[in-house]
């Protein structure tokens, strides 16, 4: 059994899933043999499409769902049979879940009252926590008198006020507009880092995951497809699903002709030959999806490296996006091949129909698996 752990294997696991499975109907598994561990103080995001199993994992950790099989441990202790209110876990939801009949201060005081904290100590903890989320002057208001962003800050404060060992967040920013959501991403990460708390965060938003996390677990079909730091996930995807799900990605289809160590030769379906880094490629003759990030492709000849691999392309669409240009090309049978280039004085603007050469380095091109052996 292989346990997915943090890079520093010397760290003692704080949260552990060991061979965890979950089925709602007794037949199909929503979570399939999950092995995962994380150290204290880590910000881990579970990322994936709807139905991938990420939220079910969070709910099992919180105690709102029970694992069908396997063990979940917190601080080395099995929590499978411990009820949610005794797990010392803070929760933040998308819908805030604030009590409308209570003031902000009363909402924060409630979890402290459940833990029988003395009144004077409760008041001090509420004051300090409201100050931490920059809401110290809002203690007397009710949730209906707050904006969405303010309510989310209070929901976060309520999850932190009793100093939990672990904070779980389920799509907490989903109801906010784009600008406020981006602001809250940095705010939550900053608070988590300053307090040194352990966070498990669930989202389907790739940018959110890459911005906030120490590591990201990419879920699909009940399995973790890859667990790594944000930069590793983006730069070194281990399979086609991760490459397509994380960020924008170009794919070209073909067959592996030769393998030489950390390089393989791929014949594209159009007959072109390119070099790539083999990932999950075992033998020649395999079908493959070749992956290249849009910003790794260049069409300005002055910027092309001498060892760049060149392909012919036809410009289909050129879009000005302010800080970048986004060019859609027809390349080796792919009509939606994208290049992103920064808006610079020497960057050429292309007209649709223009024939150009594009290039990239072999190290930026990854030959990945073809799902089910076909494409």
Tell me the pLDDT tens digit for each residue of 181-198: 888 899 889 889 988 999
Tell me the mean pLDDT in the region 125-154: 90
User: Which tokens hold the place of 301?
Assistant: 């000849």
Q: Read off the DSSP letter of residue 298.
A: B
pTM of the model: 0.87
Whether residue 180 contacts residue 120, with contact meaning beta carbons closer than 8 Å, is answered with: no
Q: Provide the CB-side half-sphere exposure for 296 (13 A, CA).
A: 19
Mean pLDDT, rounded, for 157-164: 90
Going from the C-alpha of 24 to that of each of 31, 34, 233, the distances in angstroms are 10, 16, 31
Output the six-digit token pair for 312: 């012919």
Place 375 in a pLDDT band, splitting at 50, 70 and 90. Answer: very low
Q: Which domains, ranges and CATH numbers included, belong to the chain?
A: 6-240 (3.40.50.300), 249-369 (2.40.50.100)
Q: If you average pLDDT over residues 29-54, what whole number do you get?
A: 95
For the beta carbon of residue 170, count every other beta carbon within 10 angstroms: 20
Pair 207, 239: CB distance under 8 Å: no
Structure tokens at 210: 């890459």
- Please, which pLDDT band fits residue 1 given cuts at 50, 70 and 90? very low
Q: Note the Cα 138 to chain centre separation in Å.
A: 33
CA dihedral 194, 195, 200, 203 (to 10 degrees): -40
Instruction: Tally helices (H) and strands (E) across the chain.
Output: 8, 19
Count, residues in the chain: 375
**Sheet containing 309-320, strands listed edge to edge, beginning at the edge strand earlier in sequence:** 334-342, 324-331, 309-320, 355-360
The maximal CA–CA distance of the chain, rounded, in angstroms, is 76
Tell me what the mean pLDDT of segment 157-175 comes to. Answer: 90
- Using the predicted structure, report yes or no on whether residue 235 has a pLDDT greater than 70: yes
Q: Is the pLDDT of residue 5 over 50?
A: no
| Structural element, H or E, at residue 341 | strand 334-342
In order of 60, 75, 329, 336, the CA distances from 65 in angstroms are 5, 19, 47, 42
Predicted local confidence at residue 261, as pLDDT: 86
Per cent of the chain over pLDDT 70 is 94
204: number of Cβ within 10 Å: 18
Distance set, CA 159 to CA 136, 188, 267 (Å): 16, 12, 54
Question: 161, 86 in Cβ contact below 8 A?
Answer: no
């Amino acid at each position: 059994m292989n346990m997915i752990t943090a890079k520093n294997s010397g760290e003692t696991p704080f949260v552990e899933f060991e061979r965890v499975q979950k089925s709602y109907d007794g037949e199909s598994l929503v979570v399939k043999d999950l092995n995962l561990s994380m150290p204290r103080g880590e910000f881990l995001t579970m990322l994936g499409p709807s139905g991938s199993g990420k939220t079910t994992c969070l709910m099992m950790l919180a105690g709102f769902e029970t694992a069908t099989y396997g063990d979940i441990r917190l601080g080395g202790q099995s929590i499978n049979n411990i009820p949610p209110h005794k797990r010392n876990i803070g929760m933040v939801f998308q819908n805030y879940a604030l009590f409308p009949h209570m003031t902000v201060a009363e909402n924060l005081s409630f979890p402290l009252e459940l833990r029988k904290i003395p009144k004077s100590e409760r008041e001090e903890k509420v004051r300090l926590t409201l100050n931490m989320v920059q809401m110290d002057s809002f203690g007397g208001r009710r949730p209906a008198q707050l904006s969405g962003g303010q309510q989310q800050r209070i929901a976060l404060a309520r999850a932190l006020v009793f100093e939990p060992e672990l904070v779980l967040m389920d799509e907490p920013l989903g109801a906010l507009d784009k600008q406020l959501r981006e602001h809250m991403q940095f705010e939550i990460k900053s608070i988590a880092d300053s307090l040194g708390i352990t966070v498990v965060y669930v989202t389907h938003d790739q940018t959110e995951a890459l911005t906030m996390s120490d590591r990201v677990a990419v879920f699909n079909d009940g399995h973790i497809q890859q667990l790594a730091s944000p930069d590793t996930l983006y730069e070194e995807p281990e399979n086609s699903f991760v490459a397509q799900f994380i960020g924008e990605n170009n794919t070209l289809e073909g067959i592996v002709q030769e393998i030489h160590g950390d390089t393989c030769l791929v014949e594209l379906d159009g007959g072109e030959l390119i070099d790539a880094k083999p990932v999950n490629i075992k033998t020649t003759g395999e079908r493959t999806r070749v992956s290249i990030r849009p910003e790794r492709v260049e069409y300005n000849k002055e910027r092309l490296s001498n060892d760049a691999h060149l392909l012919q392309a036809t410009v289909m669409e050129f879009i000005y996006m302010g800080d970048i240009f986004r060019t859609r090309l027809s390349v080796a049978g792919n009509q939606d091949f994208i290049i992103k280039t920064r808006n610079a004085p020497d960057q050429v603007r292309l007209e649709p129909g223009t024939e150009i050469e594009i290039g990239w380095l072999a190290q930026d091109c990854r030959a990945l698996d073809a799902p089910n052996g076909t494409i």
